[in-house]
Amino acid sequence: MGSAQPPTQRACSPGHDTRCSLAWLWIWAKTDRFGLSRKRGNSPWNTLLAHCLDTAAVCGALFDHYLAAPVRARLADAFGAGDVAKARSILMFLAATHDMPGKAIPDFQLGFLQSRDPELLAHARHWLAQAQSHGLPLDSTHRTARQHAHVTARYLPGLLGCTCCTDDEDETGPEHHGLHAIAALLGGHHGHVPNSSCIGTAECDLTPAWKSLQRELLNELARLLDVDLTELPALVRPERPCVLPLFAGLVVHSDWIASDESRFTYRTPETAGTNTDLWWRSSREEAAAAIRDLRLHRWQPTEMTWAEQMPDTPQPRPAQKAVIDARITGQSLVIIEDTTGGGKTEIAQYLTHRLALTCGYHGAYIALPLRAASDQIARRYRDYLTAILGSREAANLAVVHGSAHISEINRELKEASSANLDPSLINITNCDDPDTHQPASVVLHTWYEERSRGLLSCFGVGTIDQLVLAPQKSRHWFLRLYGLVNKTVVIDEAHAYELYQQQLLGAAIAWLADAGSSVVILSATLPKHQRHALLAAWCSGLQTQPSTPNPTGPITIVDSQGRCRTLTSARSKTSRKHRTRIRLMADPGPEALAHHLLTQHTTGITTVIRNTFIRAEALHDALLDQAEKQGWKPEEILLLHGRFFEKDRAHHQATLEAKLGPHPDPAARATTANPDRPERLLLIGTQVLEASLDYCTDHLYTDLCPFDLLLQRRGRQWRHTLNRPRHKHLAPLTHVLWTPNEDGLPCLPRPGTPGVYDPYILAATWHALHQHMPAHAPLTLTLTSPTDTQPILNTLYGDPPPDGQTPIHHLLRTLYPHWQRRLRDERKAAEGRELWPYDQNGNPTTYEELASGPSHGAGDDPDHPAHLAARSRLGTPSIDVIGLYQHPDRITWDPAGHEPADLRRYHPYADQDQEAHRLQRRHFLLNTVHVPHYWIGDLPNPTTWTKPEPAPALTDRPTLLLTPDGSPLDGRLAHLTYTPQTGLSRRRRPQPPVTS
């Protein structure tokens, strides 16, 4: 049978049709590389049919239990002309073919004989003899290895009946676009959707015997999965763009679960016989158990009032009440602008429930700007879910960010998981049975810990970066979109993201809208252009126009037709009015400033926030130089910045919060000051002191910085009311340090240089402060928030520079074009990476545009140059370096030599190694320091710096091997030093040895 012939159903049914051999049943797909299958007493290799059936079974179970209702509806349209059951079967069948025909070629099959493990090799020889005797045409000449996924992409369309790929040129017909699309997406199951030239290179020279084997295997799959191959081509219509990443994601999700040999039994004709109907049954049973164990079942919320959901705050505040009364039903974009303390987090929690109830989402993802904030909100969301899930549901909640595996809340959730009922005792059918009880709990299965898996958990809290990366091509990127579109996605602190991220968030929102999910956006007041951009992105995904293109807030609700509602009377009255006193102070330089601080602030906590690492370090040095003379002890002067090993920084931050934070006992906070607060302290640092750390300073000095950040920094002053008993009636005084030039204008970084802050924004901030300076006391001004501050922000970021003829006006007009260029560059950086579901003319994105490759962003690929590799944030590139200490007889994690480093290599999937692997990963992360690229200049590849030997775990990891006193062993790095107290420095070169 040649591939030119139309596919036929039920051509071959094992055990019933004696004309067919069962040679295809000997085609293998997986070998037991880690011994997990054999340990369970099963086969050392798995047949392709079994793996295909396992994948199909998982796909079906995910379709039934995991996918959100709108997602299923879109898949039903794309794979079943609206018929859900039909689409389900076809999706299962297509998921099964991800390795078919890719692995059903002689090249791949002979790869079994390349096994390095002698035991596996013996099994391979046995397999070959058996397979040959059952008619599998294999001669044992070695062939070139091919990417099996690309072989699937190359040959599947023809096997499924696309007429453009027949062998006989006379019968060539038109290309079936849908079949080629799904084949390419299946070809992407290792993470990158291949492009056409990549698929072309997977050309194999197949004998008619192999073609017919492939056909027989495919027919057997179709028979078992009850798919009519003759009607399949007409039903496969993946036209809506969201269907493409959804399909790719569903396949990979299914494959990853089905490839877990601790859940799915390897089956061969020798171990499981040839009754494939029994194989299919056991696939379904094991898939059901896997879905249950991984808790991949949708949230099934019941109607609940606000008071039932929020027992601690049963009385909704104004903004909360407005949202409740809006009775939101169906897919929505909800933008809530309110000040901190207005209860936005609770509204968002309430909306995840409300939207899951009315739309059928499987859960929710909450995105925040920082990892630390994610951990905090995850804790609150855990408590919320625990309260409302009811007694028969349990759910996974994953913290999703780069260091989630050392997150404390993740650890607690994982512990709750292992303490829970043995999941193997529970059948999947219990999901829908209200009488079955299971202890209520919010947990996390360790399965979700591996990278790229966090967003697959029904509930997640994590960084905004996960969302920003979702519409950018990189390995397994579509899995992010797939995980997100089944949820309500909450974007917190929406005003806090730079233009680059805002733009990519727009793309993500458009995909979410196209797939039927809902988005909740929380912010303090949004600049209006940002609100409009969010609305435009939403409507672009819906391919509609907003009914009100320029809504005003503070609460905006947009439905799936683009109809906008604005709730106006809801802004919370609770926002306290803050007054801020600001004094502009010419920076006298580090020595004089140090003298000033040591003599003027001999009591209380004094904090200096500098814009650059160099400035912070210089001031710290000057302070230490003069400390003794002024009667200060060195330990009363602290330095904090971002260039510490994670564990040292965590230690300093914890100390800071313990000493300068509120009372350790939450119950005592309102009445008692922190007893550990020292009499005095000088704290010098960079932007790490600006946000997220909960400490309170009495006096504050800051470098001139953008106005919004100035307010942010000022928030650390008199933060806890109990720390300012003597100043109740006064606003705190913040000193803003600036350097005047000869014209009396601020010295600014030259425009176009990669400075921290744009000179235009700095000059405009300086100008705004001067404008508010009272004429009678021209150094100190008082600002009331938000009445004074909001207009300043709007002007700063929204308006062109003012007319006027004074020097500052001229300066602003000179700098403004550079600022605009900077914004344009950021937008371009986003445009070079982002994928949208529809272009500006409404044309849907096609599968060809999703193509990427393993070299995507690696530099040698002209289609995807390095500067367009996926990034969640722009900024100075840095590399993560692992710090280790060399002692005479051992390598340790710490300078004192107490914690020996285990640098053996562990395999993350091999049973016995998992715990050691996790511990090692944890150590690596804790001993990582981020080194700016320009600090190491044109030094060779950091992975080649002097390393301990032997250290297989450090292969390919940039390593900084230090002496116990913090000097690098590699002479090329002699300009760097590290101490746990001051961090990594590149300024203090070690003195050259005195030569006599």
Which positions touch DNA (CB under 7 A)?
Answer: 29-30, 33, 99, 103, 108, 111, 114, 145, 148-149, 189-191, 255-256, 259-260, 370-372, 400-403, 450-452, 462-463, 465-466, 469, 474-476, 611-614, 641-643, 686-688, 692, 749-750, 753-756, 871-878, 880, 908-909, 930, 932, 934, 956-957
Phi, then psi, of 557 in degrees rounded to 5: -125, 125
> How far apart, in Å, do the first and last CA atoms of the chain sit?
90
Of 461, 495, 490, 983, give the one whose Cα is nearest residue 712.
Answer: 495
Q: How many residues does the chain have?
A: 996
* Shortest Å distance, C-beta 703 to DNA: 10
Minimum CB separation from DNA for residue 699, in Å? Answer: 21
**d(Cα 353, Cα 521) in Å, to the nearest integer?**
15
Q: Which of 411/727 has CB closer to DNA? A: 411
What DSSP state is assigned to residue 425? Answer: G
Q: Spell out the residues 6+ positions from residue 44 whose beta carbon is closer than 8 angstroms to its own.
A: 31, 32, 37, 38, 119, 120, 123, 266
Determine contact, residues 19/252, Cβ cutoff 8 Å.
Answer: no
In the complex with DNA, the residue whose CB is nearer, 403 or 886, is 403
- Whose Cβ is closer to DNA: residue 89's or residue 403's? 403
Question: What is the phi-psi region of residue 970: left when phi exceeds 0, alpha when psi lies from -120 to 50, beta otherwise?
Answer: beta
State which residue, 908 or 980, has the beta carbon closest to DNA: 908
Residue whose tokens read 């919004």: 708
Distance of alpha carbon 446 from alpha carbon 468, whole angstroms: 25
Q: What's the min distance (Å) between Cβ of 511 and DNA?
A: 17
Nearer to DNA, 176 or 643 (CB): 643
User: CA 354, CA 330: separation in Å to the nearest integer?
Assistant: 9
Looking at the DSSP assignment, which residues form a beta bridge with residue 565?
557
Q: How far is the CB of 500 from DNA (least distance, A)?
A: 9
Token pair 């920076």 is found at: 587
| Nearest to DNA of 33, 125 (CB atom) | 33
Q: How far is the CB of 169 from DNA (least distance, A)?
A: 31
Output 561 or 739, the one with its CB closest to DNA. 739
Q: In the numeric block, which tokens belong to residue 929?
A: 């320091």
**Smallest separation, CB 722 to DNA (Å):** 26
Least separation in angstroms between residue 849's CB and DNA is: 19
Q: How far apart (Å, rounded) are the C-alpha atoms in residues 737 and 183?
A: 61
Q: What is the DSSP letter of 533?
A: H
CA dihedral 68, 69, 71, 77 (to 10 degrees): 160
Query: Cβ(503)–Cβ(509) under 8 Å?
Result: no
Which lies closer to DNA via its Cβ, residue 400 or residue 851?
Answer: 400
Question: With contact defined as beta carbons under 8 Å apart, do 154 and 179 qualify?
Answer: no
Q: Are 714 and 765 in contact (CB under 8 A)?
A: no
- Closest contact distance (angstroms) between CB of 47 and DNA is 13
Q: Is the dihedral of CA 163, 165, 167, 170 positive or negative?
A: positive
Phi/psi at 804 (5° precision): 145, 160
Q: Which residues contact 989 (CB under 8 A, 6 or more apart)?
A: 974, 975
Q: Which is nearer to DNA, 300 or 872 (CB)?
A: 872
CA distances from 786 to 66, 369, 498 (A): 45, 23, 22
DSSP code, position 405: G
**Of 692 and 784, CB closest to DNA:** 692
DSSP tag of 436 = -
In the complex, minimum distance from the CB of residue 151 to DNA, in angstroms, rounded to a whole number: 10
* Cis peptide bond upstream of 157, omega within 30: no
- Which residues of 361-458 form beta strands (DSSP E)? 363-368, 394-400, 441-443
- Name the residue nearer to DNA (CB basis): 358 or 653: 653
Which amino acid is present at 342? G
CB 535 to DNA: min, Å = 26
Q: How far apart are CA 490 and CA 341, in angstroms?
A: 18
Q: CB of 31: closest distance to DNA in angstroms?
A: 7
* Chain mean position to CA 475: 13
Query: Closest distance between DNA and the C-beta of residue 911, in Å?
Result: 11
Q: Measured from the CB of residue 613, what is the shortest distance to DNA in angstroms?
A: 4
CA distance 442 to 419: 11
Q: Which is nearer to DNA, 346 or 587 (CB)?
A: 587
Output the smallest distance, CB 140 to DNA, in A: 14
Nearer residue to DNA within complex by CB, 86 or 649: 649
Which residue number, 72 or 476, has a Cβ lying nearer to DNA?
476
